[in-house]
């Protein structure tokens, strides 16, 4: 995967590219990265990349000429790369989109600044608009880094053991189970027995149940629009029965018979 970022702050990317899994992926040539400074394509005494908005209003807008020239230069370097503008107006970036884009061989990531870019750039020089979330950043650079990070770890061979990307949160849009490492007891809190049992059938069952319950509690929306497996339906039904039993007991014993409650 070849990443080209277009930005007026190319140095922002160096620390990101010089650390951790991203650095290793670059060294292993699993990805290639480069930053193009949009200001290099600006003309005039001040080489400005922004100007006042037509029709008035606050803030500045990124000028079309330097951006268009920079995008053309990047496209010359990577003719088949998809040109993506990072903007709150874009489609939402998530794990499903990350899997989609990780299959491509090149991306040109255009990082806006100020109030945004001239609309004519969106019309004629952009293949897709992507948003990392419904909030306003000072620039698209951090959003570009987030996309590069999420995509790079999906590239085969980048993450240590191949299936670590498969069995993770959102891999099948369910939250990951709790994870533990040594020591088995920490400040009075012990690791769940089943994880020390070596019985992988029970461990997988425990992991599935804890994934389901925390998804149900923290992100029920993920369960609502997701096809449940037979195993998952069986677990959810067992919970319903357990909950029914509790409610039933309440009705038998009547209010006040049990501690707690109102
Ligand atoms: C953004 C987002 C974002 C908007 C104006 C840059 C800023 C400034 N990009 N997801 N949310 N961009 O807020 O991707 O130009």
- How far is the centre of ligand 1, averaged over its atoms, from the C-alpha of 177 (Å)? 32
**Cα 262 from Cα 253, distance rounded (Å):** 14
250 pLDDT band (50/70/90 cuts)? confident
| Choice between 214 and 260, residue whose per-residue pLDDT is larger | 214
Q: How many CB atoms lie within 10 A of CB 92?
A: 11
- pTM value is 0.90
**Cα 164 from Cα 153, distance rounded (Å):** 10
**Which residue(s) pair with 69 in the sheet?**
none
Q: Name the average pLDDT for the chain.
A: 93
Query: Does residue 152 carry a pLDDT above 60?
Result: yes
Query: Does residue 261 carry a pLDDT above 80?
Result: no
* Among the ranges given (55-69, 104-118, 153-167, 181-195), the one the predictor scored with the smallest mean pLDDT: 153-167
Q: Can you say whether the dihedral through the CA atoms of 84, 87, 91, 93 is positive or negative?
A: positive
Query: Does residue 35 carry a pLDDT above 70?
Result: yes
Residue 142 buriedness (CB in 10 A; 0-12 / 13-18 / 19+): middle
Query: Does residue 32 carry a pLDDT above 60?
Result: yes
226 Cβ contact partners less than 8 Å away, ≥ 6 residues apart: 172, 173, 174
Query: Does residue 252 carry a pLDDT above 70?
Result: yes
Q: Which of 87, 97, 134, 142 to mutate to test the pocket of ligand 1 (most atoms within 8 A of CB)?
A: 87
- How far is the centre of ligand 1, averaged over its atoms, from the C-alpha of 41 (Å)? 22
- How far is the centre of ligand 1, averaged over its atoms, from the C-alpha of 105 (Å)? 24
């Amino acid at each position: 995967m070849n990443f080209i970022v277009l930005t007026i702050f190319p140095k922002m990317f160096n620390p990101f590219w010089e650390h951790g899994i991203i650095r290793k992926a670059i060294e292993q040539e699993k990805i290639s990265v480069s930053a193009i400074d949009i200001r290099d394509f600006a003309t005039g005494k001040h080489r400005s990349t922004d100007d006042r908005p037509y029709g008035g209003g606050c803030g500045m807008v990124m000028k079309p000429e330097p951006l268009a020239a920079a995008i053309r230069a990047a496209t010359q370097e990577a003719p088949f790369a998809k040109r993506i503008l990072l903007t709150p107006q874009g489609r939402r970036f998530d794990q499903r989109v990350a899997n989609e884009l990780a299959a491509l061989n090149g991306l040109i990531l255009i990082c806006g600044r100020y109030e945004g870019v001239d609309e004519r750039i969106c019309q004629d020089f952009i293949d897709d608009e992507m948003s990392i979330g419904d909030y306003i950043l000072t620039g698209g650079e951090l959003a570009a880094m987030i996309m590069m990070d999420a995509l790079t770890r999906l590239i085969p061979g980048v993450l240590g053991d191949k299936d670590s990307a498969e069995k993770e949160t959102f891999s099948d849009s369910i939250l990951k189970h709790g994870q533990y490492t040594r020591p088995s007891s920490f400040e009075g809190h012990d690791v769940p027995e089943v994880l020390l049992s070596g019985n992988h059938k029970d461990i997988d069952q425990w992991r599935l149940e804890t994934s389901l319950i925390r998804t149900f509690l923290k992100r029920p929306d993920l369960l609502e629009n997701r096809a449940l497996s037979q195993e998952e339906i069986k677990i959810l039904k067992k919970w319903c029965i357990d909950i029914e039993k509790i409610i039933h007991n309440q009705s038998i014993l009547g209010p006040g018979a049990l501690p707690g409650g109102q």
